[in-house]
Structure 1
Amino acid sequence: MAAMSTVPVRPQASYAQRIAFVAEMAARLHRYGTTAQRLEAAISALSQRLDLECEPWSNPTGLILSFSDPGKPPGSTDTTRVIRLPPGENDLHKLGEADRIAEAVANGHMTIAQGHTALRTLDRPPWPWMRVMQVLAFGLAAAGVAGLWRLPWLDIATAAFTGLLIGLLDQYTSPRPALKEAGDALAALTAGAVVSLVAATVGPLNLNTVVIASLVVLLPGMALTNAMNELASQHWVSGTVRFAGALTTVMKLTVGAMIAVTLIDLLGLEPAVRASRPQPDWVEWGSMGVAAFAFAVLFKARRRDYPWVMGAAICGYLISRYAGHAWGSPAGIFLSALALTAGGNAFGRWMQRPGALIRLPGIIMLVPGSASLRGLLTLVQQQDMDAGQSAMLGVLNIVMALVAGLLFGNLLIPARKNL
């Protein structure tokens, strides 16, 4: 962090200015992917330090903030802000900057006006090369996950190419509201069509697995985990809404993939399917680094934070893998989530930065997004309730192990920072 003046400049801000700053900070934390319990705790703490009383209420699509001035008679200064927002997306760089600005304003090193100005600098459009990196990261994430699953080289190459196409599609649909609603279904349609065509014309593939690897960036595993975490924290409305949103995403992906399969069948093509995972250990190790780098880009971390983000992702995967081999998959996921949550809280305490830099990338390879999509695809393709229920039970086991790890990790090393 840059050195700050040791003599704080106490802001002479009005009641309305302080409310405006807290409301803008809350909206930005929501936009950068903060969960309900962490956002509400962070905003309550910031309000107290700015001599405000605030009762925040957060859900995945909006905020309600009720303010009052503790120095005035009760009810005389009550103000309520209702803010409608789209679901947030994880942005580790902007989250870290927002946290730094909030600390500077709360400590008196910045005035409220300077804080507003600093926040607005975060709205500058990204450089073109950053958009290119995001597209490349879609392909690298797909290839990395396919390599972690030890798929054959043709499968890995197909997943990487399809991931790049989906990255391009995401860049095209994101700024267009009419297309964004159907973006997940269009991505799954693209993935299903490309993978099926390769399997029908080039060589046999692990068909469903390659489709899932291609879509790995869009899978709602993190949303499912956050939803259960919010429910466990007694944020019933936010957790229920986020859980419903995650299920809707899985259904849209399944619908898109099944439309592609139907179209390929109507064209008279028959994809060749095989179950093969022949890769040696070194491919898995290399893929782990590729996937970790891709997620650092996708989480929009600053370049100086890449070692932290990549190290957390690799540690999370390794703990889960080796502990899972020793004591079973749920135990491995639990221990990994516990270690990364405690590690993120320790990072926040000692580095004075958001623990999300460690926590989010650390659990990204553990989340149950691929298992949930595989379960629904199996259910729809085979029309077999037993197979679908078995897959969904596996998802439930993963989610429970993750949430338990998150809860006990917070108990092991309590967080100093809510973010």
Structure 2
Amino acid sequence: MSEKATEQIPDSISERRLDKVPHFPNRHEPVGFMLRLVKALHTYGVPSYELERLLTNVAEQLGYGLQCIAVPTSITMTFMLEEDKPQTYVIRSNSGEVDVDKLSRTMDVAYAVINDDMTTEEGAIQLNEITKSKPVHNRYWTIICFMLVSASIARIFNGGLLEVITGAAIGLSVGLLVNIGGTRSETVANLMPALAAFMASVISVGFNKWLGLGSTYIPIVAGIIILVPGMMLTIAMAELATQNLVSGTARLLGSAVIFIQMTFGVAIGTQLGNFLFPSTVITPLTLLPTWTIWIAIFATSFSFVVLFQTRWKSFPWIIAAVCIAYFVSRWGVKLMNPASGAFIGALSVGLFANLAYRIKQVPTATCLMPGFIILVPGSVGFKSLTALLDHDIIGGLDTAFNMIIIGISLVTGLLISSIATLPKPKTKAKLGKPLS
């Protein structure tokens, strides 16, 4: 096989650009534009109910009838014109890439076309530029922020100084693994949850041997918190609640598989760690002063700007979203119960995200995603599986049930706040010319 032919073979069919698919509509045609728009939005993790609604509006503006079905691994679109037979296209695509900047710019293109402020030709050019643009923050900053967010989450989970240090070491290791190993092999990327959990467990047990931790569980969860599929679980429940049953079920099972991978990684890593670093010393957990929570919130918000590829001008809004999620949910838990705290927290974050968009056109994903990382029950689900692995059947099932109730509360709060994880359409006055 020639070198040129080898270069044209993609590493993954789901990541192949549509321009390289034989006989696919040209990107400058209306149908070709819509196919590339839906693939871009799907890649950035847009929920099915929002994706289908948005593309239907775009198709109607362009004079097409559209039937769209989106699931986490593929998209099926049927276009209809009065004088032509229906045309159906199936796109293989994986969702979940977190890039708020590209998501926001892609949404602007979609709403510019809906508002008739941009042609499909101009939109196709913009989409191509967005796809090829470099990330807002480079890989090195991302690795540093993996370490920073893990240390901060360890403090938010009431860990002591040693747990914070251990969480930082685990976060740095996981960041290196994700950004170096995960980008070179598709197999490694698919096994990333198990590998990260395995490495986190070995490091936590090793640090317990050397430093005497009050808890080995807190650093493990803090170190892999970015990989815990809590947001996926919440979106799955939202899709089920909006009658997107196929997509919701697939996403729900996908999050369950990731939880199982992580549990397996923790089980093997803990056993190996105990074999390599045996320790029988039990150290009491020493809490840090209350004021350190503000440092943790600031550091977490800083890290979210980088990890979610958000621009720095959104930093104050992210800090506010994280503060609202943390303090409002804690107030709700103290006042009532965890489910009520999750509901009030989600409702507050949703309303704040909507307000931020109305005031300063801040994309709602910029506020929602950091806020929901603090709220989502991912760590609860992880804890339930580890309890089951330790043969604590009653405790594991009870924790899993609590996770489901908290997840339902989050979805209810999100739906009642009447927003989704996407920006709302702008007025024509705001979109008088194509985006630069």
Give the TM-score normalised by structure 2.
0.86
Structure 2: 5+ residue stretches without partners? 1-24, 427-436
Q: CA deviation at 1:145?
A: 0.8
- 2:32 corresponds in structure 1 to 20
- 2:16 corresponds in structure 1 to none
Question: Is 1:167 matched up with 2:188?
Answer: no
SS in 2 for 1:216: coil
Question: Is 1:246 matched up with 2:255?
Answer: yes
Give the one of 122, 127, 134 matched to 1:126. Answer: 134
Change (3 A) 1:288 1:55: same
Residues matched between the structures, number: 400
What is the distance in 2 between the residues matched to 1:147 and 1:15?
48
Which residue type is aligned with residue 41 of structure 2?
L
Which residue type is aligned with residue 150 of structure 2?
A
- 1:5 corresponds in structure 2 to none
Q: CA deviation at 1:399?
A: 0.7
Give the one of 398, 405, 419 matched to 1:390. Answer: 398
Q: Mean alpha-carbon deviation: is it higher for 104-113 or for 77-86? A: 104-113
- 2:354 corresponds in structure 1 to 345
What is the distance in 2 between the residues matched to 1:235 and 1:315?
29
Question: Is 1:117 matched up with 2:125?
Answer: yes
- 1:57 corresponds in structure 2 to 69
Cα RMSD (Å): 2.5
What is the distance in 2 between the residues matched to 1:153 and 1:268?
21
Give the one of 108, 113, 132 matched to 1:105. Answer: 113
SS in 2 for 1:225: helix
What is the distance in 2 between the residues matched to 1:146 and 1:228?
27
SS in 2 for 1:278: coil
SS in 2 for 1:47: helix
What is the distance in 2 between the residues matched to 1:238 and 1:128?
30
Give the one of 43, 48, 54 matched to 2:55. Answer: 43
**1:204, 1:271 within 8 Å by CA — same for their partners in 2?**
no
User: Following superposition of structure 1 onto structure 2, how do residues 252-331 of structure 1 map, counting pairs within 5 Å?
Assistant: 252-267=261-276, 269-270=278-279, 272-274=281-283, 276-331=285-340
**2:344, 2:413 within 8 Å by CA — same for their partners in 1?**
yes
What is the distance in 1 between the residues matched to 2:242 and 2:286?
40
**2:162, 2:211 within 8 Å by CA — same for their partners in 1?**
no
Which residue type is aligned with residue 147 of structure 1?
R
What is the distance in 2 between the residues matched to 1:401 and 1:319?
14
Change (3 A) 1:79 1:275: farther
Question: Is 1:410 matched up with 2:418?
Answer: yes
1:52-96 alpha-carbon deviations (Å, 9 max, x no partner):
211111111110111112xx24xx331111000113222210111
What is the distance in 2 between the residues matched to 1:185 and 1:37?
30
**2:28, 2:121 within 8 Å by CA — same for their partners in 1?**
no
Change (3 A) 1:273 1:123: farther
Percent identity over the alignment is 28
- 1:401 corresponds in structure 2 to 409
- 1:218 corresponds in structure 2 to 227
Give the one of 187, 198, 201 matched to 2:196. Answer: 187
Change (3 A) 1:40 1:68: same
Question: Is 1:371 matched up with 2:380?
Answer: yes
- 1:6 corresponds in structure 2 to none
Change (3 A) 1:60 1:178: same
Structure 1: 5+ residue stretches without partners? 1-12
**2:205, 2:216 within 8 Å by CA — same for their partners in 1?**
yes
